[in-house]
Amino acid sequence: MQHPFLSDDYHIRWSTLTPEHIEADIKQALELAEQRLDAIRNLPAEKVSYATTFEALEKAAEELERGWGRLSHLDSVDDNPEQRAAMNAMLPQVSAFYSQIALDSKIWASLKAFSESAEAKSLSSVKQRFIEETCADFIQSGANLDEDQKAEVAEIDAELSQKTKKFSENVLDSTNAWEAVIDDEARLAGLPEMAKESARLDALENDHGSEDKPKWRFTLQHPSMAPVMQHGGDDSLRKEIWLANCTVGRDGEYDNTDLIWEILDLRQQKAEILGQKSFPDLILQRRMAKTGKAALDFTEDLHGKIQQKFLQETQELQTIKRRKRVGLQRRSNHGKQATGLKNAGKNNTHSTTKRCGPISLSIVLWKECSPSLLSSSVLKSPKKKQSTEMMPRARFRFGTKNVNFTISRTLLLASCSAHSTPTGIRVRLSVVARG
């Protein structure tokens, strides 16, 4: 195929759209478009019609739009050095082509002549609307400026195209450069197995870890980061990825800070040449907001209306988070306390027995443990009332040591009995962990 980027086949043959075809195909498209624009420029007054002006302009750059559109798509999904270099080589010519159309006095004269004709007013409402919008595009782009101003606008447009392209490249390169390599599988808690396996294989492909000692690689590409942000249980990992995604193109080799200021300055210059106070005023004049101030006022008003609700919902989420963290800590502490209680019984040479569901504990309290440490409240089982056996408090004293044993929050007390012995107070508990 001679010009694969320009092919009008229904099914796009992406495998044929390779870097070596870019220059030839885009130059061919530019040449075809220029020939059609020349026909509009040199149109005799008697041949001015809808078909020879507005319709001809609409079709003038069909091949260029097709070829450049496909290349732009590839640039966003399959960037590579050869393709990027070829695209950047053609970018100035493409930008200049589109910029000069609205600034071309001959083309504007032909369009304006027909738009003011009786024939134009007799067309369908759809075509009349198309004529109105096209003329508005030309005026907004500088069709009515003097030649010196047009030259300034063209120069600014060319510079803007280069800087905005570089901005996009920095965003892409910054995104691709970031990675997080995890060597502790515990940090992957909550992730679907498919996401974990994908991260492991990605790490192997990038020389991280091995089959015997696996590692997991995460990037800022959506299929990699999204499962972590949605399912990941490790707060620090989610925060690390979130912060990296929010600071793309901000630091280091791919810092866009200076470019942002340069782009803003060029846009302001262009707006002022075109008679507007600011770039937002320029681009919003035919949109719903109409002005930059109206757009800003809208966002500020919206912020004021949602701020308190946002803070309230944030507080609710933080409360849920704290409760969840406390619950996990209590379960952890309960395990430690139960272990400490068992060991305390062993250390005092008194029997402590344990069996699964329910657990039975036989504990001997020393004589200095006052009977007042036993609550006088009546014990109630989750299923049926017990006799007037007495429920012990959460703290018992073993010699000089205090042993915490919380029943009410993590355990159900199935039975409890206490009686005095020559050596102290014997307490027998039967407990079942809450479900």
166-173, Cβ contacts within 8 angstroms, sequence gap of 24 or more: 166/259, 167/249, 167/256, 167/259, 167/260, 167/263, 169/84, 170/249, 170/254, 170/255, 170/256, 170/259, 171/248, 171/249, 171/254, 171/256, 172/79, 173/253, 173/254
**Chain-wide mean pLDDT for the chain?**
83
Q: Which of 162, 331, 338 lies closest to 263 in space, CA to CA?
A: 162
Rounded mean pLDDT, 90-111: 95
Residue 234: which residues within 8 A CB-CB, separation 6 or more? 186, 187, 188, 189, 190
Count the neighbouring beta carbons within 10 Å of the beta carbon of residue 374: 18
Q: How confident is the model at residue 366 (pLDDT cuts 50, 70, 90)?
A: very low
| Position with higher pLDDT, 391 vs 321 | 321
Amino acid identity for residue 407 in this structure: I
The whole model's pTM is what?
Answer: 0.70
Give the domains, in start order, of the chain with CATH numbers. 4-144 (1.20.1050.40), 179-247 (no CATH), 333-433 (no CATH)
Per-residue pLDDT tens over the stretch 41-73: 999 999 999 999 999 999 999 999 999 999 999
The CA angle 86-87-89, to the nearest 5 degrees, is 65
Q: Provide DSSP, 289-315.
A: S-SHHHHHHHHHHHHHHHHHHHHHHHH
Distance of alpha carbon 422 from the chain centroid:
70
Give the CB-side neighbour count of residue 14, counting CA atoms within 13 A. Answer: 8
Task: Encode pLDDT of 143-189 as tens digits.
Answer: 999 999 999 999 999 999 999 999 999 999 999 999 999 999 999 99
Average pLDDT score over residue span 364-381: 35
37 neighbors 104 (Cβ within 8 angstroms)? yes
With 0-12 / 13-18 / 19 or more C-beta atoms within 10 angstroms meaning exposed / middle / buried, residue 117 is: middle
Radius of gyration of the chain (CA): 38
Q: What is the mean pLDDT of residues 302-320?
A: 95
Q: In what order do the strands lie in the sheet with 424-433?
A: 359-366, 424-433, 411-421
Q: What is the DSSP letter of 46?
A: G
How confident is the model at residue 330, as a pLDDT?
74
